């Protein structure tokens, strides 16, 4: 999951900065409210946000709570789910399995109408997933664990490809670009084990020669020796996934030690930030930054209609600045989309009961022949009322689930066309990623 990695180094500061955000959210009344919607048969829906809300990763909970609130806001504006109000309940997993187990179990036992779980739970998935599975509560998850690549849990829906896929996509893009000799450099902050192995396996399976593979420590003050080794391996390009600071230092020292001859960089969208591009521009020049850095990330269609509704909801709930800066990060719109999909599936199944609507999650995502493509919950509701089948294509595009209830990995490659924006230069198909993984 992208959000986790990008933020983990500055956790305490993030807590300080986001404490105000947390307070605001609390003030918005997004906590569990047991409004027993007295009118007819309409029952409320409670979405359990399983994430750290306390401890040093509490900022993650703040983010995910906000995305859930945005979804609940949109759903309620359109009249709720089958007339019932949607609310978000915070289920604190603290990032620690020892806390997650009792907290999730308690939520299952005590929350009324706990019909959907969402969350970022790589650290605690091992205890969370079986609990919600046994309680027949559909789970929209963003964990990156490769152990769920061949998932058999029925209520498990992973809406982001795991790290192995991203690693393989880096390899696939390299081949797509016609490169045959690349150096692979990973730093311990920024890349996971499964991503590294995905890249290395991918390059091998696709027949791309790896001139050197280096695993470097993050944020060191000198990479001179490492750089020398990469230079003498004569790569056509460098695949690197590290934190922005490590990549800036590494490439600047590369330039110093190679008389200015720096091969193109293939990295991930984690680094697509103004602080990284401005630092690289200073030291490697604008031309290098605009033409020689490719940022690869999970396919993000950024549907304008869906996005504007998402942003609009955030702005209703939060001050404008926070809504724009942090909460459009990759991962959060995905969670938002997942909740909308589940809400539409409930409508389609005429039930908020997990075992009844679970299968409709797939139908709403895939659409199928004759399905009407919708970008908002309200549009989906209208189409369903009109008796049509639908496909929801949200902020983050459509979900294509495979048999293991994992979204298949389509990736997109950007470049930094100017100081202000990025544009898509290539897409990597799921087929090629699958081929890379062998």
Partner 1 sequence: MSGLMEAIGFGLASGAVLSIGSVGLTVQFGVSGVFNLAYGSLLTVSAFIGYWLVEQGLNLWVAMVVVSVATGVLSLMLNRGIYVPLQRRGASPLTLIVATLYVATFIQYLVALIAGDQQVSFALQAGSERSFIGFRLTTLQIEFIALAVALMLAFHLLLTATKLGRALRATAGNRTLARACGIRTARVVDFTWLVTGMMCGAAGLALAATTVAFDFNLGSLFLFYMVAALLLGGAGHPYGAMLGAIVIGVSSQVAAFYGNPQLSDVVAFGIMVVILLVRPRGIFSHSGATSGLEA
User: What pairs with residue 390 in β-bridges?
Assistant: 372
Q: Specify the 3-state DSSP secondary structure of 300.
A: coil
Nearer to partner 1, 173 or 223 (CB): 223
HSE toward the beta carbon, residue 349, CA cutoff 13 A: 20
Scanning 12-20, 33-41, 119-127, 310-318 for contacts with partner 1 by CB under 8 A, the matching segment is 12-20
DSSP category for residue 85: P
| Axis crossing angle, helix 274-284 with helix 244-257, rounded to the nearest 10 | 10
In contact, 305 and 396? CB cutoff 8 Å: no
Nearest residue to 184 via CA among 169, 203, 166: 203
User: What track of x and - describes contact with partner 1 for positions 35 through 64 (by CB under 8 A)?
Assistant: ------------------------------
Taking CB under 8 A as the criterion, the residue among 8, 9, 135, 177 binding partner 1 is: 9
Q: Output the smallest distance, CB 251 to partner 1, in A.
A: 9
In the complex, minimum distance from the CB of residue 131 to partner 1, in angstroms, rounded to a whole number = 35
Please tell me the distance from the alpha carbon of residue 247 to that of residue 271, in angstroms, as a whole number.
9
Question: Is residue 359 a contact residue for partner 1 (CB under 8 A)?
Answer: no
Dist CA 208 CA 174 (whole Å): 8
Positive or negative torsion for Cα 319, 320, 325, 331? positive
Structure tokens at 41: 């048969």
CB nearer partner 1, residue 150 or residue 215: 215
The reply on whether position 225 binds partner 1 by CB under 8 A is yes
Number of residues that bind partner 1 (CB under 8 A): 39
Judged by CB under 8 A, which of 252, 303, 309, 406 binds partner 1? 252
By CB under 8 A, tell whether 233 contacts partner 1. no
Smaller CB distance to partner 1: residue 124 or 246?
246
CB atoms within 10 A of CB 366: 15
C-beta of residue 3 within 8 angstroms of C-beta of residue 330: yes
The answer to whether residue 195 forms part of the interface with partner 1 (CB under 8 A) is no
Which of 83, 130, 217, 368 binds partner 1 (CB under 8 A)? It is: 217
With binding defined as CB under 8 A, does residue 275 bind partner 1? yes
- By the rule CB under 8 A, 248 interacts with partner 1: yes
The least CB distance from residue 195 to partner 1, in Å, is: 15
Complete DSSP assignment for 325-394? HTTTSTTHHHHHHHHHHHHHHHHHHT---HHHHHHHHHHHHH--TTPEEESSHHHHHHHHHTT--EEE-B
Q: With respect to partner 1, which residue has the nearer C-beta, 180 or 282?
A: 282
On whether the CB atoms of residues 47 and 68 are closer than 8 A, the answer is yes
Our finding on whether 20 is near partner 1 (CB under 8 A) is no
Shortest distance, position 253 Cβ to partner 1, whole Å: 7
Least distance CB 132 / partner 1 (angstroms): 34
Tokens at 40, concatenated: 């007819």
Where do contacts with partner 1 occur on this chain (CB under 8 A)?
9-10, 12-14, 16, 188, 214-217, 219, 221-226, 228-229, 232, 244-246, 248-249, 252-253, 256-257, 259, 273, 275-276, 278-280, 282-283
């Amino acid at each position: 999951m992208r959000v986790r990695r990008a933020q983990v180094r500055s956790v305490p500061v993030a807590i300080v900065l986001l404490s105000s955000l947390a307070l605001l959210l609390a003030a918005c009344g997004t906590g569990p409210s047991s409004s027993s919607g007295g009118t007819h048969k309409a029952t409320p829906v409670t979405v359990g946000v399983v994430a750290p809300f306390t401890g040093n990763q509490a900022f993650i909970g703040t983010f995910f709570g906000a995305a859930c609130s945005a979804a609940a806001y949109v759903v309620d504006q359109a009249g709720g789910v089958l007339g019932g109000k949607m609310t978000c309940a915070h289920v604190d997993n603290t990032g620690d399995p020892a806390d997650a187990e009792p907290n999730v179990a308690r939520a299952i036992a005590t929350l009324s109408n706990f019909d959907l779980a969402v969350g970022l739970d790589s650290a605690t998935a091992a205890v969370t997933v079986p609990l919600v599975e046994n309680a027949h509560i559909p789970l929209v998850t963003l964990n990156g664990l490769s152990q769920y690549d061949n998932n058999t849990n029925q209520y498990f829906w992973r809406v982001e490809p795991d790290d192995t896929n991203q690693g393989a996509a880096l390899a696939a893009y390299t081949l797509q670009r016609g490169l045959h000799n690349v150096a692979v450099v990973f730093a311990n902050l920024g890349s996971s084990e499964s991503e590294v192995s995905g890249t290395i396996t991918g390059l091998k399976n696709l027949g791309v020669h790896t001139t050197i593979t280096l695993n470097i420590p993050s944020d060191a003050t000198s990479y001179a020796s490492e750089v020398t080794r990469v230079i003498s391996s004569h790569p056509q390009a460098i695949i690197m996934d590290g934190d922005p600071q490590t990549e800036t230092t590494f490439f600047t020292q590369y330039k110093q030690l190679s008389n200015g001859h720096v091969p193109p960089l293939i990295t991930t969208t984690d680094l697509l930030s103004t602080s990284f591009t401005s630092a690289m521009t200073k030291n490697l020049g604008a031309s290098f930054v605009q033409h020689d850095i490719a940022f690869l990330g999970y396919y993000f269609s950024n549907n304008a209609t869906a996005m504007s509704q998402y942003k609009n909801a955030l702005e209703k709930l939060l001050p404008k600045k926070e809504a724009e800066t942090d909460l459009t990060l990759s991962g959060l719109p995905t969670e938002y989309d997942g909740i909308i999909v589940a809400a539409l599936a409930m409508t389609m199944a005429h039930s908020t009961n997990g075992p009844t609507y679970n299968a409709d999650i797939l139908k709403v995502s895939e659409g199928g022949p004759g399905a009407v493509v919708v970008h908002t919950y309200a549009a989906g509701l209208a189409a369903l009322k009109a008796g049509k089948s639908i496909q929801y294509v949200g902020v983050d595009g459509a979900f294509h689930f495979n048999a293991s209830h994992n979204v298949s990995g389509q990736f997109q490659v950007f470049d930094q066309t100017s100081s202000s924006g990025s544009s898509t230069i290539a897409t990597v198909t799921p087929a090629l990623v699958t081929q890379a993984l062998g």
